[in-house]
């Protein structure tokens, strides 16, 4: 294991180099582009044996990767924002065909207005597309989660595609020290991919993507959910195996000073780092502040979330996306998780950071302060919004 200075995008590309997929499809979109640029350099320098398809759109990127994966290849692509929105149709086809495709997604706002900066409206719009979703706090997690993703996706009792998220620019373009596995160790952890059904490797001809009507479609969808349930069964054994190699832990949700906390904030991706800094500061002042970071958003770990949050008085949920006219995505899940708690904490939703707006430590301090004072409401609140 060695430490390398890598951006989040560079960390994703480094993981892809070590996975050495058989086929990758590449299409540029800010802020995902540096992943594919770095990977294309690996291809053209002969550092991977991957065949790279330089496609003309994200829709074709996912379509080609579906073709490659159904042929029996290990296949990947990466995207952001409207690129993910364009491929939405085939994102669903990938999970419906149970293809273990792994895709880094660098979170970016959706149009319109066009905006290249970070928020989570892209991947939240895909939360019901049948993909496993892993969110990454920093470049290190963007790297580590790729390995979890590969093993989860390809587990024969799961066989679902996985998106590995990181925050656009904040993580994707910031250089951090990243501990990287030795190539051999990484290769061993990933192992060989031997698909049970393949267009090319199966002895008998296989039909992928058949038509199912009211007589079979429902059961197929139910099987996808059973596969999601199997993530619970196998997640921790895979995470433990990775921990043995890296010394880092990979809980589905990461508790940070939650045990005795009176106020706990909930966040995904890079906001968790900023909140941790504030928690440290408040703890020094003797305030019982905590954070629950969500790594695994699909399937959603309701009972773990409940366990960590139920003892607090106030929960502040940070959403970097909207569900217009409804509870925002993370808030909605947290409320679901706490619904059956005996005396559930009060839950306050906060929308922040849309279109890349900064989240400052002082913003978080203000949130903690108002929640310590018990100022919880039924309405959404906004951080850093004018007017």
Partner 1 sequence: MMNLFDFAKKPHRLLPGHRSCAGCPAPIVARAILASTDDEIVVSNATGCLEVVTTIYPESSWNIPFIHNTFENAAATISGVETAYRSLKKKGAIGQNRKIRFVAFGGDGGTYDIGLQSLSAALERGHAFTYVCYDNEGYMNTGGQRSSATPIGANTTTDPVGKVRVGKQESRKDLMKIVAAHHIPYAAQASLSNWPDLLRKAQKALSTEGPSFLLILSPCVAVWKIKPDMAIEISKLAVDTGFWPLYEIEEGKFRLNFDPANNKLPIAEFLKHQGRYKHLLEPKNKKLLDRLQQEIDQELEKIKKLSELGVPVF
**Chain residues that interact with partner 1, rule: CB under 8 A:** 22-23, 25, 49-51, 53-57, 59-60, 63-73, 75, 89-90, 93, 199-202, 205-213, 216
- Identify which of residues 36 and 305 has a Cβ nearer to partner 1 in the complex: 36
**Could you tell me the smallest distance in angstroms from the CB atom of residue 356 to partner 1?**
30
Q: What is d(CA 126, CA 285) in angstroms, rounded to the nearest whole number?
A: 40
Taking the complex as a whole, how short is the minimal distance between the CB of residue 150 and partner 1, in angstroms? Answer: 17
With respect to partner 1, which residue has the nearer C-beta, 88 or 302?
Answer: 88
Q: Concatenated DSSP letters for 220-281?
A: HHHHHHHHHHHHHHHHHHHHHHHHHHHS----SEEEES-TT-SEEEEE-TTHHHHHHHHHHH
Minimum separation from the CB atom of position 19 to partner 1 (A)? 13
Taking residue 302's Cβ as centre, other Cβ atoms within 10 Å add up to 15
Alpha-carbon distance of 247 to 120, in angstroms, equals: 29
Q: Which is nearer to partner 1, 68 or 351 (CB)?
A: 68
Shortest Å distance, C-beta 200 to partner 1: 6
Comparing CB distances to partner 1, the nearer of 52 and 245 is 52
Nearest residue (CB) to partner 1, 73 versus 190: 73
Q: Which residue's CB is nearer to partner 1, number 76 or number 289?
A: 76
Kind of pairing, strands 75-76 and 263-267?
Answer: unpaired
> 203: Cβ–Cβ under 8 A, 6 or more apart, which residues?
none
Q: Which residues contact 378 (CB under 8 A, 6 or more apart)?
A: none
The nearer residue to partner 1, 201 or 226, going by C-beta atoms, is 201
- 3-state secondary structure (DSSP) of residue 186: helix
- Give dist(CA 35, CA 42) in Å, integer: 11
Size of the chain, expressed as the number of residues it contains: 387
**Residue 295 contacts residue 134 (beta carbons within 8 Å):** yes
Residue 60 vs 107, nearer CB to partner 1: 60
Q: Residue 266 has which token pair?
A: 């909930």
**Distance, CA of 278 to CA of 276 (rounded, Å):** 5
Shortest distance (Å) from residue 69 CB to partner 1: 8
Taking the CA of residue 268 as centre, how many other CA atoms within 13 Å lie in the half-sphere pointing to its CB?
33
Torsion of CA 148, 9, 135, 53, to 10 degrees: -70
Q: Are 201 and 72 in contact (CB under 8 A)?
A: yes
Minimum CB separation from partner 1 for residue 140, in Å?
A: 30
Token pair listed for 21: 């997929």
- In the bound state with partner 1, the residue whose beta carbon lies nearer, of 208 and 257, is 208
C-alpha R_g of the chain: 21
Q: How far is the CB of 84 from partner 1 (least distance, A)?
A: 16
Nearer to partner 1, 76 or 149 (CB): 76
Compute the distance between CA of residue 30 and CA of residue 165 in angstroms, rounded to an integer: 14
Q: How far is the CB of 74 from partner 1 (least distance, A)?
A: 9
> Rounded CA gap, 382 and 310, in Å?
24
Return all residues near 222 (Cβ < 8 A) that are at least 6 apart.
none
Q: Output the smallest distance, CB 236 to partner 1, in A.
A: 31
Contact criterion met (CB below 8 Å) for 257 and 285: no
Q: Smallest distance from the beta carbon of 35 to partner 1, in angstroms?
A: 19
């Amino acid at each position: 294991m060695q430490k390398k200075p890598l951006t989040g995008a560079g960390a994703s590309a480094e993981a892809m180099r070590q996975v050495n997929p058989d086929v990758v499809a590449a299409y540029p979109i800010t802020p995902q582009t540096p992943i594919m640029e770095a990977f294309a350099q690996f291809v053209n320098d002969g550092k991977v044996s991957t065949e790279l398809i330089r496609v003309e759109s994200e829709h074709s990127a996912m379509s080609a990767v579906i073709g490659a994966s159904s042929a029996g290849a290990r296949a990947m692509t990466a995207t952001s924002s409207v690129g993910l929105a364009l491929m939405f149709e085939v994102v669903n086809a990938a999970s419906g065909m149970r293809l273990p495709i792994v895709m880094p997604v660098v979170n970016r706002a959706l149009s319109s207005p066009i905006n290249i900066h970070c928020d989570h409206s892209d991947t939240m719009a895909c939360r019901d597309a049948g993909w496993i979703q892993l969110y990454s706090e920093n470049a290190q997690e963007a790297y580590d989660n790729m390995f979890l993703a590969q093993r989860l996706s390809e587990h024969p009792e799961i066989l679902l595609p996985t998106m590995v998220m990181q925050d656009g620019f904040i993580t994707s373009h910031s250089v951090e020290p990243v501990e990287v596995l030795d190539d051999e160790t990484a290769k061993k952890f990933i192992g060989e991919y031997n698909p049970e059904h393949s267009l090319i490797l199966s002895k008998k001809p296989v039909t992928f993507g058949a038509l199912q009507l009211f007589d079979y479609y429902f059961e197929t969808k139910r099987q996808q959910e059973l596969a999601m349930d199997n993530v619970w069964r196998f997640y921790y054994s895979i995470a433990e195996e990775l921990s043995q190699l890296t010394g880092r832990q990979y809980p589905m949700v990461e508790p940070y000073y939650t045990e005795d906390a009176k106020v706990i904030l909930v966040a995904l991706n890079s906001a968790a780092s900023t909140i941790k800094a504030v928690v440290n500061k408040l703890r020094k002042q003797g305030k019982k502040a905590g954070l629950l970071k969500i790594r695994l958003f699909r399937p959603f770990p309701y009972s773990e979330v409940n366990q960590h949050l139920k003892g607090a008085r106030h929960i502040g949920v940070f959403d970097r996306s909207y569900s217009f006219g409804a509870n925002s995505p993370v808030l909605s899940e947290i409320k679901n998780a706490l619904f059956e708690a005996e005396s559930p904490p009060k839950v306050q939703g906060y929308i922040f950071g849309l279109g890349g707006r900064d989240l400052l430590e002082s913003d978080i301090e203000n949130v903690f302060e108002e929640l310590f004072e018990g100022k919880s409401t039924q309405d959404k609140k906004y951080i850093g919004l004018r007017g």
